[in-house]
Amino acid sequence: MLLRYILKRILWMVPFLFAVSIVAFLLIQAPPGDYLTTYIAKLGESNEVLDQASIQNLRERFGLDQPLYVQYFKWVANLLQGDFGMSFEWRQPVSDLIWERMGLTVLLSFATLLFTWAVAFPIGVYSAVRKYSIGDYVATTLGFIGLATPNFLLALILMYIGVVHFGSDVGGLFSNEYKNAPWSLAKVGDLMQHLWLPMIVLGTSATASLIRIMRANLLDELNKPYVDTARAKGLSEFWLIMKYPVRVALNPFVSTIGWILPNLVSGAVVTAIVLSLPTAGPLMLQALLAQDMYLAGAFVLLLSSLTVVGMLISDILLVLLDPRVKYD
Amino acid sequence: MQGECPAGGTHQMNTPVIQIQDLNVGFSMRQGRVDVLHGISFDLHRGKTTCVVGESGSGKSVTARTILNMVPPPGVINGGRILFTPDGEETVDLTAMDPRGKQIRDIRGGRIGMIFQEPMSSLSPVHTIGNQIVEAIRLHRDVSKKDARQMAEEALRQVEIPTPEKALDRYAFEFSGGMRQRAMIAMALSCRPDVLIADEPTTALDVTTQAEILDLMAGLQRDLGMAIMFITHDMGVVAEIADEVVVMEKGHVVEKGDVHRIFDAPGHPYTRQLLGAVKRLEEPAAAKVRPAPDSGDILKVRDLQLHFEKREGFLQRVTDVTKAVDGISFDLRQGEALGIVGESGSGKTTVGRCIARVYDPQGGSVDYNGQDLIRAGKAELRDTRKQIRMIFQDPFASLNPRMTVKQLIAEPLIVNNVASGKALEARVAKLLTEVGLDPGMMERYPHAFSGGQRQRIVVARAIALEPKLVIADEPTSALDVSIRTQVLDLLLRLQAEMGLSFIFISHDMAVIRYFCDRVAVMFKGRIVEIGETEQIITDPQHPYTKALLSSVPISDPTQRGTRQRHRYQEPA
C-alpha cells in the first residue's frame, strides 16, 4: 500500500517536472535580451565593438536565432540524455560546473537540516512543557534574536571571532591546499572542519522558527484529552509526553522538510557569498545576471526538483507518522 | 509513605474503597487563590455505583482527577485527603503522594481506572487501539508483549467489540463514537482495577449508544465487582444506574444519599431544581401555543435528495455514494414547530441545511410560500434568507470571539440595510431585552457570557430580521439541563409573540416532546414515522421509533429494569 503510494507519487513527478521545465525556460527568457546582448554590452564597456557579422555568427552558433519553442525542445531533448548544454560564460559544459557544487550544496543542506532538528526539537519540547519557566523565556528570547539576525551578519560575526580569536581560516568549505585537489580522505576531513560554520550560520534562523513551531504545536496538544488518558494509565510524565503529544506535534515539523531544502539552496546566496562557499547559490546568481541561460536553467530545474523531492520525502514521512493521512 | 488502617483488618471489607475527606482544591490565579472544591466528603463502595451530579462548573471533573492525583495545573490540593483501601491491603492517602512518583503511577490505571467524556479525542489519533491497551497492561503487569496482546484482545471481547483480534490493529478514527468509548472502557478495565472513574462517559453519545454503554458498564460491574464513580449531569442516567448519589454545586457537596431517597425526598433546593428540570421535560410545555387550525402551510418539502459522492482515482470515478437525505417529504404549517429526531448520521442536520440552502440538494423541491427554494437563484435566496434563519448547536463556536455582542446581533441588520446608527443601536437593545439579556451588555465580547446567555445572543441574532421560519439544529444540546428549559421557554415565547414556525432538530426526545407540535423520526436519510408528538411518543408505530424511545433513560429509579431496551435492526 505504502509502496504503491510512493510509486504513484514518483510517477506524478514526471508531468510536474515537465511543467517546471517549461516555466524555468520561460523564466530565463523573460528578461529582455539574451546572453549575447549582455555580452556585447560588457565588451562595449571595454571599448571593444563586434561587427554585425560576428554577432550573427555567434547568435547562430549558440542557436539564439531560432524560435523559442525550438530552443526549448532542443534543450529538453538534450536534458533527457543528461546533457545540460554549454555555459556561454564559462565555455564549459553545464554539468561539469554544477555537479560538484550541487553535491556540496546538498551536503551542506542536509547537515544544516540535521543541526536544525537536533537543536530545535529538544528546546521546542522543553519550552512547551515548561511553559513560562526561565528556560522557556531564555529559549524564546534567543529564538527571536536568532530569527531577527540576518544570516550574513551572523556569518561576519562568527568569521571575525574565528579569525581574530582562534586565528583559523573559516571561509569556504576547503582550505587552500585542498581547493582544487582531487577527492581524498584528507579532503573530506578538511571539509568536515569547515562545515560547522556555514551549518550554524545557515541553520540559526530555521532553528529559531522550528523551536517556535514545535512549542506552539506541542502546547496545542498538551491539553488534549488523550494526554490525560495516558496519564491516567500510569505512564511516567516523560514517556507519556514523548509518546503521545510530541508524536502528534511532529506532523507540522516534518512538513517543514519540504520547504527547508530549496530554501537552503536559494535563500543562502548572500551567506554563501560572504563565506565564499563553493555552493550553488552564488553561481546561480551570476548565471542569472549574465543571462547564461543553460546554466541558469539547469539550476532552476534542479532547485525545483529538489523542492519536489523534499515534498515527497515529507509526505512519505507524514504517512508513516500519521495513520489519518490517506494514501490515495 | 506509610499508610494507615483506621478500621483494622477484619472490618476492612466494610471500609469504603475510596474515602474523600474534606477535600479542598484551589487554583492559583493572578488575583490570588480561588477554591474550586470547598471541603467535600463522600465515599465510594465496592460493587456500587456512585453518581456525582451537577452542572458545568460544579467541580465534578476536578474531583475525579484529584482522586488520581492529577489536578490540572495551576490547581493544588490544599486540604483534606483521599484514602484508598484496596482489597486486602493497607489504606493509603492518595493526596499525600508525589503526583509524578512511582507509587501513584502504579495506582493509576492499575488499581483505579478512568474513562473520559470525549471518546473522539481521548484516544491517541496516531496509535492503534491495541498499542494503547497493551501499553496499559504492560505498565502494571509483568507480561510479554504477546501475552499482553492476548489480554488486550480479551478485554475488547469483554466490552463486546466485534472481531477484537482485528480491532486491535485499527485506529480510533476508524471507530464510531460508541465503539471508541467501549475501547476506552476496555483499556481502563484491562488491569482489573478496584475503582472505575467515569467522567461523563455517555454525554457525547446518542441515546441508543448511551443505553448500550450503560448496560455494558452495569454488566461489567456485576462480573468484576469494582466500585464505579459515574459523573453526569443527566438525572435520567442517574436514575438508571446509581446506587448512591452525590449532588455537587459550585464546589460543594450539597446532598448525598441513596438514589431512591434522593429522587423521593430531595432535601436540598438545588437537587429539587435539577430534578424539576428533568421532570418538566417529561411532558409538553404548558405554555405551548398550538398553530391556528386554519393556518396554511408555510413550507412543503417534497422528495428531497442529497447524496454525498466519494470520488477516487485519476479519473475521479464515483466509488461510493452516501444517501444523506434520501427522499424526504413533509409539510410545515404556519406557526407550527416540527421536530426532527434521529441518531447521529441519520441525516437530520443535513435536511435542515438543505432547506436553508447551505447545501445544494440534488433532487426534490422545497416550496416556501409558493417559491421553490431549491431552484431559487442568488437574488431570491438573499430575500428568503431574511425570513429563514438558523440556530446552531454550539453557542461557543457559532459566535465570533472577536466581535462584540452588538456587532454580532447588528450584522444581519447591516448586511440587509435594515437599520444604521442610532436606530440600529435601539434595535439591538430591544432584541437583547426580548431574549432576556441586559442591553447594557452589548459592548461585551461573547467570552464574558455563560453558555445559556450565549445561546440567547444566538437567538437574538436569529430573530433580528423578524424571520418567519427558524431552523434550530440541536440548540440546547450543549447546555445544562436547567438552562435548557430556560432557552426552550424563550423560544416558545418568541414563537407565540412573533408567530414563528420552527424546524427543531434534536436527538433528545424529551426536548422534542416539550417543544414540538409534530415530530418526524429519521433513520438513514429517510423519515420512518411522522405525526403528532404526543401520539408518536405514547404510541410509536415504527420499530425504529420504538427502539429509540426504549433507549431514553427514565428518570425514576423505581422503574429501573422494567423496560426492555433494544437496538433497531434494519430488515434485510
Which candidate from B122, B135, B312 shows the least CB-CB separation from A328? Answer: B312
Residues of chain A positioned with their CB less than 8 A from the CB of B114:
229, 232
Q: Provide the 8-state DSSP code for B439.
A: G
- CB B341 within 8 Å of CB B507: yes
pLDDT at B520: 95
pLDDT band for position B359 (cuts 50, 70, 90)? confident
Q: Say how far apart CA A323 and CA A235 lie, in whole Å.
A: 23
Task: For chain A, count helices (H), then strands (E).
Answer: 14, 2
- Determine phi and psi for B486, rounding to 5 degrees: -60, -45
Q: Report the residue of chain A nearest B117, measured CA to CA.
A: A225
Let me know how long chain B is.
572
Whether B7 shows a pLDDT value over 80: the answer reads no
Residues of chain B positioned with their CB less than 8 A from the CB of A231:
68, 70, 108
pLDDT at B10: 44
Residues of chain B positioned with their CB less than 8 A from the CB of A236:
100, 105
What is the average per-residue pLDDT within B445-455? 83
**Nearest to residue B80, comparing CAs of B108, B42, B111?**
B42
Q: Say how far apart CA B483 and CA B277 lie, in whole Å.
A: 9
Grid cell of B135 as nine digits: 501499553
Give me the helix-helix angle, B177-189 and B145-158, nearest 10°.
130
> What distance in Å separates residue B498's CA from the closest CA in chain A?
43
Whether A106 shows a pLDDT value over 70: the answer reads yes
> What distance in Å separates residue B62's CA from the closest CA in chain A?
12
User: How does pLDDT run across B207-252, given as a tens digit for each residue?
Assistant: 888 888 898 889 889 888 899 999 998 888 899 899 999 999 989 9
Parallel/antiparallel/unpaired status of strands B49-53 and B244-249: parallel
Residues of chain B positioned with their CB less than 8 A from the CB of A239:
none
- CB A240 within 8 Å of CB A227: yes
> What distance in Å separates residue B458's CA from the closest CA in chain A?
28
- CB B243 within 8 Å of CB B217: no
Q: How many CB pairs under 8 A join A and B?
A: 78
Residues of chain A positioned with their CB less than 8 A from the CB of B68:
231-232
Q: Say how far apart CA B139 and CA B191 lie, in whole Å.
A: 9
Q: Residue B352 burial by CB count (10 A; 0-12/13-18/19+): exposed, middle or buried?
A: buried
Q: Provide the 8-state DSSP code for B329.
A: E
**Nearest to residue B321, comparing CAs of B524, B571, B568?**
B524
Q: Report the residue of chain B nearest A322, measured CA to CA.
A: B126
> What distance in Å separates residue B255's CA from the closest CA in chain A?
28
Which candidate from B113, B123, B171 shows the least CB-CB separation from A323? Answer: B171
pLDDT at B9: 44
User: How does pLDDT run across A215-273, given as a tens digit for each residue?
Assistant: 988 998 888 889 999 999 989 989 999 999 998 888 877 877 776 666 666 667 778 88
Sequence-separated (6 or more) residues with CB below 8 Å from residue B536: B519, B521, B529, B545
> What distance in Å separates residue B312's CA from the closest CA in chain A?
8
- Determine phi and psi for B114, rounding to 5 degrees: -140, 140
Q: Say how far apart CA B402 and CA B421 lie, in whole Å.
A: 21
Q: Of B146-155, B454-463, B550-559, where does mean pLDDT reach its minimum?
A: B550-559
| Residue from B111, B126, B187 to probe the interface with A (highest A Cβ count within 10 Å) | B126
What is the average per-residue pLDDT within B461-487? 86
What is the average per-residue pLDDT within B554-565? 77
B133 touches A at CB < 8 Å: no
B100 touches A at CB < 8 Å: yes
Q: Residue B219, Cβ neighbours under 10 Å: how many?
A: 13
pLDDT at B557: 84
Which candidate from B108, B113, B126 shows the least CB-CB separation from A323? Answer: B126
- The reply to whether residue A229 touches residue B135, judged by beta carbons under 8 angstroms, is no
| Residue from A9, A14, A226, A254 to probe the interface with B (highest B Cβ count within 10 Å) | A226
User: How does pLDDT run across A29-73, given as a tens digit for each residue?
Assistant: 777 777 777 777 777 777 777 777 777 877 777 777 778 888 888
User: How does pLDDT run across A151-189, given as a tens digit for each residue?
Assistant: 888 888 888 888 887 766 667 777 777 777 777 888 888
pTM assigned to the model: 0.79
Interface of chain A against chain B, CB under 8 Å? 224-226, 228-237, 243-244, 247-248, 321-324, 328
Whether B11 shows a pLDDT value over 70: the answer reads no
pLDDT band for position A328 (cuts 50, 70, 90)? low
- The reply to whether residue B105 touches residue A236, judged by beta carbons under 8 angstroms, is yes
> What distance in Å separates residue B196's CA from the closest CA in chain A?
11
| Residue from A7, A222, A224, A229 to probe the interface with B (highest B Cβ count within 10 Å) | A229
**Nearest to residue B376, comparing CAs of B447, B385, B324?**
B385
Instruction: Kindly state the percentage of chain B with pLDDT values over 70.
Output: 97
pLDDT at A48: 72
Q: Say how far apart CA A118 and CA A123 lie, in whole Å.
A: 9
- CB A220 within 8 Å of CB A249: yes
Q: Residue B418 burial by CB count (10 A; 0-12/13-18/19+): exposed, middle or buried?
A: middle
Whether B442 shows a pLDDT value over 90: the answer reads no
Parallel/antiparallel/unpaired status of strands B92-93 and B75-84: antiparallel
Whether B253 shows a pLDDT value over 90: the answer reads yes
Q: Say how far apart CA B101 and CA A174 lie, in whole Å.
A: 53
Grid cell of B264 as nine digits: 423521593
Residues of chain A positioned with their CB less than 8 A from the CB of B127:
243-244, 247
Q: Of A93-107, B99-113, B362-376, B404-418, where does mean pLDDT reach its minimum?
A: A93-107
> What distance in Å separates residue A12's CA from the closest CA in chain B?
11
Conformational region of residue B269, where left means phi above 0, alpha means psi within -120 to 50, and beta covers everything else: alpha
- The reply to whether residue B116 touches residue A321, judged by beta carbons under 8 angstroms, is no
Kindly report the CA angle at A234 between A228 and A238, in degrees rounded to 5?
A: 75
B61 touches A at CB < 8 Å: no
Q: Residue A196, Cβ neighbours under 10 Å: how many?
A: 13
Whether B12 shows a pLDDT value over 60: the answer reads no
Q: Report the residue of chain A nearest B193, measured CA to CA.
A: A233
Whether B479 shows a pLDDT value over 90: the answer reads no
Whether A293 shows a pLDDT value over 50: the answer reads yes
- The reply to whether residue B100 touches residue A228, judged by beta carbons under 8 angstroms, is no
* DSSP code per residue over B78-131: EEEEEEE--TTS-BEEGGGS-TTSHHHHHHBTTTEEEE-S-TTTSS-TTSBHHH
pLDDT at B114: 93
Kindly report the CA angle at B119 between B308 and B242, in degrees rounded to 5?
A: 125
Q: Say how far apart CA B300 and CA A227 lie, in whole Å.
A: 49
- In the predicted model, what is the mean pLDDT of chain A? 82
- The reply to whether residue A233 touches residue B139, judged by beta carbons under 8 angstroms, is yes
Q: Report the residue of chain A nearest B311, measured CA to CA.
A: A328
Parallel/antiparallel/unpaired status of strands B297-312 and B92-93: unpaired
pLDDT at A167: 67
- In the predicted model, what is the mean pLDDT of chain B? 86
pLDDT at B4: 44
pLDDT at B2: 43
pLDDT at B6: 45
pLDDT at B436: 85
> What distance in Å separates residue A315's CA from the closest CA in chain B?
16
* DSSP code per residue over A158-172: HHHHHHHHH----SS
Give me the helix-helix angle, A293-321 and A94-129, nearest 10°.
30
Q: Of A91-100, A266-275, B351-360, B414-423, where does mean pLDDT reach its minimum?
A: A266-275
> What distance in Å separates residue A122's CA from the closest CA in chain B?
21
